[in-house]
Structure formats: structure tokens, C-alpha cells
Amino acid sequence: MSKIHNFSAGPCILPHEVLKEASEAVKSWENHGLSLIEMSHRSKPFVEVMDETRSLTKELLNLSDRFEILYLQGGASLGFLTTAYNLIPEGGSAAYADTGTWANKAIKEARHLGEIEVVASTKDSGYTSVPKLGAVDSKHSFLHFTTNNTIYGTQYQEMPTDTGVPLVADMSSDIMSREFDTTPFQLIYAGAQKNMGPAGTVMYAIDKNCLGKTGRDIPSYLDLGVHLGKDSMFNTPPVFSVFTTMLTMRWLKNLGGVAAIEKINNEKAALLYSEIDRNPLFSGHADVNCRSKMNLTFRLNDDSLGSKFDTLWNDAGISGIKGHRSVGGYRASMYNAMPLDSVQVLVDVMKEFERTI
């Protein structure tokens, strides 16, 4: 079968060697005589997997000792509510930035737990950019924002500074894609299925010093302190997702870590954005200074040419570039494991399309 160039927004593609080792472990894991997914999560081999996964996360994100790592279920969607339960005091408030669909979902869930002030929004401009985040009222426990918006193809190129309150971020779609200063953060959470591994687990990097201070009676499963006390094993963890995430982080570390993959991601994004801007048949969706390097959104200037362009990229073995239904157009998602040669195939198709029109 010919190679498929998978630009899907998620779940992400994974490195070939990671898929190979993970698939072999499902059949029989090393010399244990059992499949990975039928072994006890309390067994020594899997406990070592969880420990290594958490350790690699801290190392790759360059997190200080005040942070602890959790790998849980429920995805970032449950993280929206979990964040509010653990960080908004009884009768308290928090500041949120509205940058699109997922930010709105986070705001909706947080409003179950306290007063939420939307301090910045680009809703009126159709979310083609992200708003600047400055100082917020000190009454707020934190400022929450979504670092990368998969649907609209926007991203904070620089993290906020001098906000006056701790930062909390949903980094589901650009975690481990670039270096950043973690000092201002109180909590970073991310679904694994974009850059870190398969769907099924969500990572929390939490400042352990901020837990247990809300005055709330938090349901056990939503209490991050409970999960820390059980080393991410309060309940049976998603063993395959955690194991494969560990393999992916080993791959990333061997590649040179986040600094190395950031250079590659910049090269991939520059290649495709250059063609979008050069080719008179296409236009980018997001404002130039807010363009995502993970999810590149663009459209045809003449929609009547859509069927011909669709035929060309399908014939080239390209998959998953149709834009989200709320935006339309096209979206090329280029997470860490996306090879540069797949991006070049898409660029070549766009050039051929221009040549034959």
C-alpha cells in the first residue's frame, strides 16, 4: 500500500518505531509472557512505565521540583472542570481568555465552580487571532488560556507575562512542540493525542503547593491531590496510552528533546505557509502574527475549484486536510511526528494545482 500522508487534527500520527514497539507489546511485552494490556497495572513492570513517563515529562518540559505529573483519563474536556475544582476557592473567581471553541468549553465548565471573568476575546473577529493577555485583577486565582486553537489555526507565539496571577493553560495541541518558560504556570494540562501519544490519557503538570487550598469538598476522582497520593493510580490507568506516550517521549528525547523538535516544526510550518502566501489560488485563514505551527488553516480563493484540488491531494495519498465544519477550507495539522517530506508532498500538490488551472 502506498504511503498515506496523514494531516488529521487528531489523534496524531506517531513515529513508526513507536508504533512498532507498541504493537509488539500488545502481543507480548518483552519477556513478561503477557500482553501489555492484560498485565496488572500494579505490577512492577507497569509501575516502572508510569514512573518513567512522569519523569520524562518533567525532563522534556524542563519543569522544576514544585511540579508533579499525573496521567489520568477523561481528556482535557474533564480537565476543564478538574482545573476549576482544584484551583478556584469557594466563593472565588478566575480569569479566562476566549480564543475559540475549546476555550469556550473551558469557560462553561469553570462557571459551575465560581465567578469567571472573560478578560480577553477575539470572538468578534471570528477567532482569526488570539488576544493579547496582560495584567488581570488580583482577585482572580489564575488566568486560563488555550495555547493553540486547532479549529481556527491560531497560537500564542509568546506566552503571556506580567499578568499578576498564576497561569493555567490547556496545551493539548502544542504540548512539547516548542520550548517555553514554565515559571509563571500553576497548572499545564494536555490530552496526549496530539503530540505525546495515542488518545486515552491526559497529562497534568501541577504545582503541588497550590493543592488543597480551595475549601471545597472535591469529588475524589476530580481531586488532583487524591491522584498524586496514588501516583496516578487511584483507578486503573489507561495502560496502553501511557506506555505508548512513554515510547513517544523516549523518541523525542533521543531526537534532541523539545529544542530539536521545535526547529523541525518551524521548518515544516515555514515550508507550507510560504506556499500558501505565494500561491495566488490560496489564502491563509489566521492572522499572520497568530498563525499556528501545529494546525495550518487555509482556503481556496475560488471555492468552485474545490473538487479539482480535492482530487489532486487525494490522488497524492494525502488524508485529513479538510477544515473543521465551523471554519471550512483546509487544515493541515503537523504535529511532532509529521515528517517534512509529507509537508513537501502537500506543497507540491498546491504547485501542481496552480500549474494546471
Residue 355: CB atoms within 10 Å: 7
pLDDT band at residue 40, thresholds of 50, 70 and 90? confident
Confidence (pLDDT) at 43: 85
Give residue-wise pLDDT tens across range 163-181. 999 999 999 999 999 999 9
Q: What is the mean pLDDT of residues 147-172?
A: 97
Whether 263 is a known active-site residue: answer no
The hierarchical CATH code for the domain 258-356 is 3.90.1150.10
**Cβ-contact 205, 57 below 8 angstroms:** yes
Residue 53 has pLDDT above 80, yes or no: yes
Length of the chain: 357
Three-state secondary structure along the chain? CCCCEECCCCCCCCCHHHHHHHHHHHHCCCCCCCCHHHCCCCCHHHHHHHHHHHHHHHHHHCCCCCEEEEEECCHHHHHHHHHHHHHCCCCCEEEEEECCHHHHHHHHHHCCCCEEEEEEECHHHCCCCCCCCCCCCCCCCCEEEECEECCCCEECCCCCCCCCCCEEEECCCCCCCCCCCCCCEEEEEEECCCCCCCCCCEEEEEEHHHCCCCCCCCCHHHCHHHHHHCCCCCCCCCHHHHHHHHHHHHHHHHHCHHHHHHHHHHHHHHHHHHHHHHCCCEEECCCHHHECCCEEEEEECCHHHHHHHHHHHHHCCEECCECCCCCCCEEEECCCCCCHHHHHHHHHHHHHHHHHC
Give residue-wise pLDDT tens across range 68-94. 999 999 999 999 999 999 999 999 999
pTM (2 d.p.): 0.96
Ranges of each domain in the chain: 16-255, 258-356
Q: What is the mean pLDDT of residues 16-25?
A: 96
Confidence (pLDDT) at 291: 98
Confidence (pLDDT) at 254: 98
Nearest to 72 by CA among 267, 184, 164, 206: 206
Q: What is the mean pLDDT of residues 132-146?
A: 97
Give residue-wise pLDDT tens across range 219-231. 999 999 999 999 9
Q: What percent of the chain has pLDDT over 90?
A: 95
Catalytic residue among 170, 174, 207, 223: 170
CATH class of 16-255: alpha beta
Residue 1 has pLDDT above 60, yes or no: no
Residue 297 has pLDDT above 80, yes or no: yes
Rounded distance between C-alpha atoms, residue 317 and residue 327, angstroms:
24
pLDDT band at residue 268, thresholds of 50, 70 and 90? very high
Q: What is the mean pLDDT of residues 100-118?
A: 97
Whether 29 is a known active-site residue: answer no
Confidence (pLDDT) at 31: 87
Compute the mean pLDDT over every residue in the chain, rounded to the nearest whole number.
96
Catalytic residue among 29, 98, 102, 268: 102
Rounded distance between C-alpha atoms, residue 170 and residue 228, angstroms:
19
Q: What is the mean pLDDT of residues 175-204?
A: 97
Rounded distance between C-alpha atoms, residue 220 and residue 106, angstroms:
20
Q: What is the mean pLDDT of residues 257-269?
A: 98
**Cβ-contact 85, 216 below 8 angstroms:** yes
The residues, any chain, with a CB within 8 Å of residue 355's CB and separated by 6 or more, are none
Catalytic residue among 29, 98, 174, 194: 194
Give residue-wise pLDDT tens across range 269-291. 999 999 999 999 999 999 999 99
Residue 47 has pLDDT above 80, yes or no: yes
